[in-house]
């Protein structure tokens, strides 16, 4: 549980200075700030540093050390922040769609929050995804170049995304069954260690900007936004370190093996 001092530090970390009242506007502001200040990244996996889902470890990594993380880390810590602020929030399990089929249970963690007699999903750990909460029962949430919809099929829900000018595609499926963080531990270990895991295939560090994203993918630096995309190869470990520092505010220790992060 986050205490008042930790909550203040967390809000400072994500640059949030708005209201903390139990309103939808607060959830919108917090979600957007989190997406723009805390990167989605899996660098520790390639640096052979096991991920811990304890609140103290996550707070130290994300808030005090200005790092990011993947879904289990970021949404667990965001859950703690929202809970400390007084919101009614729950953890949900999702099955990620890989282009042809859905993954297993607990493949992904997202959050649901009840506010003003409405229910929204929140997810600050899915990389290039929605920036503001999406209602469970209202279609066509337009955010930048994408439209998000949640469709219900019996007890199952599917989040869809349609980029302007492109076909709609599912992002993940989920139910409203709630879970404790312990239920995600097995899949969290799998995602870090299995050669079948998407997270062991390439290193990534990505963050939302006002109009797009900045992303390091292995040894490539990609900037997108306003219908523009630039990409170039990072030429050296020192340049990689400088891009991390300048664009993501991440300062890795000098003994980190950056060659693992830059491997093609």
- Domains of the chain by residue range: 4-193, 198-262
Listed in order, strand segments (DSSP E) in 43-99 are 88-96
Contacts of 116 (CB under 8 A, 6+ apart): 23, 24
pLDDT tens column, 189-238? 999 999 999 999 999 999 999 999 999 999 999 999 888 899 999 999 99
8 A C-beta contact, residue 208 and residue 36: yes
What is residue 139's predicted lDDT score, i.e. its pLDDT?
72
Question: Apex CA 96: angle with CA 90 and CA 101, to 5°?
Answer: 145
Where b means 16+ CB within 10 Å and e means fewer, 16-28 reads: beeebebeeebbb
pLDDT of res. 79: 98
pTM, entire model? 0.96
73 phi and psi angles, rounded to 5 deg = -75, -55
**Per-residue model confidence as pLDDT tens for the chain (264 residues):** 899 999 999 999 999 999 999 999 999 999 999 999 999 999 999 999 999 999 999 999 999 999 999 999 999 999 999 999 999 999 999 999 999 999 999 999 999 999 988 999 999 999 999 999 999 987 788 899 899 999 999 999 999 999 988 899 999 999 999 999 999 999 999 999 999 999 999 999 999 999 999 999 999 999 998 888 999 999 999 999 999 999 999 999 998 999 999 986
Task: Count CB-CB contacts under 10 A for residue 113.
Answer: 21
In this predicted structure, what is the pLDDT of residue 138?
74
Which whole-number Å values give the CA distances from 165 to 100, 143, 227, in the listed order? 21, 14, 12
pLDDT at site 199: 96
The listed CATH number (1.20.58.100, 3.40.50.1970, 3.40.640.10, 3.30.2140.20) that belongs to domain 4-193 = 3.30.2140.20
pLDDT at 42: 98
Count of H helices and E strands in the chain?
Answer: 8, 13
User: Which pLDDT does position 223 carry in this prediction?
Assistant: 97
Residue whose entry in the numeric block shows the structure tokens 């919101």: 87
Tokens of 153: 């099929």
Q: Where are the beta strands (DSSP E) in the chain?
A: 40-41, 88-96, 108-115, 118-122, 134-135, 141-143, 146-153, 156-163, 169-179, 204-208, 212-217, 220-225, 228-233
């Amino acid at each position: 549980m986050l205490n008042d001092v930790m909550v203040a530090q967390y809000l400072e970390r994500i640059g949030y200075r708005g209201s903390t009242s139990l309103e939808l506007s607060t959830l919108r502001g917090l979600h957007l700030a989190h997406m723009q200040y805390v990167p989605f990244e899996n660098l520790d996996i390639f640096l052979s540093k096991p991920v811990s889902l304890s609140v103290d470890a996550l707070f130290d990594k994300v808030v005090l050390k200005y790092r990011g993380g993947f879904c289990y880390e970021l949404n667990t810590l965001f859950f703690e922040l929202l809970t400390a602020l007084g919101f009614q929030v729950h953890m949900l399990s999702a099955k990620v769609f890989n282009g042809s089929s859905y993954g297993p249970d607990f493949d992904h963690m997202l959050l649901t929050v009840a506010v003003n007699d409405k229910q929204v999903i929140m997810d600050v750990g899915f990389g290039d995804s929605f920036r503001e909460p999406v209602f469970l029962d209202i279609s066509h949430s337009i955010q930048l170049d994408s439209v998000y919809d949640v469709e219900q099929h019996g007890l199952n829900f599917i989040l869809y995304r349609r980029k302007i000018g492109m076909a709609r595609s599912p992002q993940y499926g989920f139910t409203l069954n709630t879970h404790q963080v312990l239920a995600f531990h097995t899949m969290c270990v799998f995602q870090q260690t299995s050669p079948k895991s998407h997270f062991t295939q390439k290193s990534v560090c990505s963050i939302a900007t006002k109009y797009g994203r900045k992303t390091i993918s292995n040894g490539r630096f990609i900037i997108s936004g306003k219908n523009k995309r630039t990409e170039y190869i990072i030429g050296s470990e020192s340049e990689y370190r400088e891009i991390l520092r300048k664009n993501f505010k991440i300062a890795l220790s000098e003994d980190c093996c950056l060659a693992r992060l830059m491997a093609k």
